[in-house]
Structure 1
Amino acid sequence: MSHASTFHQLHRNASPLRLPNVWDAGSARLVEALGAPAIATTSAGFAWALGYPDGRVLPFDEVVATVRRIIRVLKVPLSVDIENGYSDDPKTVADHVMRLVELGIAGINIEDGPDAASLLASKIEAIKRAVAKSGSELFINARSDVFLASLVEKSTQPEESIARGKLYTSAGADGLFLPALVHTSDIETIAGSIRIPLNVMAVPGLADAATLGKQGVRRLSAGSGISQVVLGKAKAIAREFLESGRSESLDDTPVPYAEVQALFRRG
Structure 2
Amino acid sequence: MRTQADKAARFRELHQRPGAFIIPNPWDAGNAKLLAAMGFEALATTSLGVANTLGQSTISLDAIIENCRMIVEATDLPVNADLENCGADDPKTAARAITRAAEAGVVGGSIEDSTGNREHPIYDFSLAVERVQAAVEAARALPFPFMLTARAENLLHGRNDLDDTIKRLQAFEAVGADVLYAPGVYDAKTIRTVTASLGKPFNLVMGFADPTLTVDQIAAAGVKRISTGGAMERHALNAFLRSAREMKDKGSFSYVRDMAPVKEVRAAFNGSVPAP
Classify 1:266/1:99 alpha carbon distance in 2 versus 1 (closer, same or farther; 3 Å): farther
Once the two structures are TM-superposed, the CA of residue 17 in structure 1 deviates from its matched residue by 1.6
What does residue 39 of structure 2 align with?
Answer: 35
Deviations 1:203-250 (A, max 9, x none): 335522101211211111212211111100010112212345545432
Contact kept, 8 Å, 1:22 with 1:41, in 2: the verdict is yes
What does residue 226 of structure 1 align with?
Answer: 232
Amino acid at match of 1:135: P
Secondary structure in 2 aligned to 1:109?
strand
Classify 1:206/1:178 alpha carbon distance in 2 versus 1 (closer, same or farther; 3 Å): farther
Written as runs of structure 1 = structure 2, the 5 A alignment for 1:110-259 is 110-113=111-114, 114-153=122-161, 157=162, 159-202=163-206, 203-205=209-211, 207-252=213-258, 254-259=259-264
Amino acid at match of 1:265: N
TM-score (norm 2): 0.85
What does residue 267 of structure 2 align with?
Answer: 262
Classify 1:18/1:266 alpha carbon distance in 2 versus 1 (closer, same or farther; 3 Å): closer
What does residue 117 of structure 2 align with?
Answer: none
How many equivalent residue pairs? 259
Contact kept, 8 Å, 2:33 with 2:268, in 1: the verdict is yes
Amino acid at match of 2:99: M
CA RMSD across the alignment: 2.1
Question: 2: distance between equivalents of 1:33 and 1:184?
Answer: 31
Once the two structures are TM-superposed, the CA of residue 263 in structure 1 deviates from its matched residue by 3.0
Amino acid at match of 1:258: K
Contact kept, 8 Å, 2:37 with 2:271, in 1: the verdict is no
Secondary structure in 2 aligned to 1:8?
helix
Contact kept, 8 Å, 2:45 with 2:71, in 1: the verdict is no
Secondary structure in 1 aligned to 2:31?
helix
Amino acid at match of 2:159: L
Question: 107-116 or 198-207, which moves further after superposition?
Answer: 198-207
Question: 2: distance between equivalents of 1:208 and 1:249?
Answer: 29
Question: 1: distance between equivalents of 2:222 and 2:82?
Answer: 23
Question: 2: distance between equivalents of 1:8 and 1:169?
Answer: 16
Question: 2: distance between equivalents of 1:133 and 1:17?
Answer: 27
Contact kept, 8 Å, 2:66 with 2:104, in 1: the verdict is no
Amino acid at match of 2:245: R
Once the two structures are TM-superposed, the CA of residue 126 in structure 1 deviates from its matched residue by 1.9
Question: 1: distance between equivalents of 2:87 and 2:167?
Answer: 24
Extract unaligned runs of 5+ from structure 2.
115-121
Secondary structure in 1 aligned to 2:155?
coil
What does residue 89 of structure 1 align with?
Answer: 90
1:11 aligns with 2:12: no
Question: 2: distance between equivalents of 1:152 and 1:249?
Answer: 40
Question: 2: distance between equivalents of 1:190 and 1:52?
Answer: 33
Deviations 1:40-71 (A, max 9, x none): 12211111112211xxx412221222222111
Classify 1:188/1:46 alpha carbon distance in 2 versus 1 (closer, same or farther; 3 Å): same
Question: 22-31 or 255-264, which moves further after superposition?
Answer: 255-264
Classify 1:247/1:146 alpha carbon distance in 2 versus 1 (closer, same or farther; 3 Å): closer
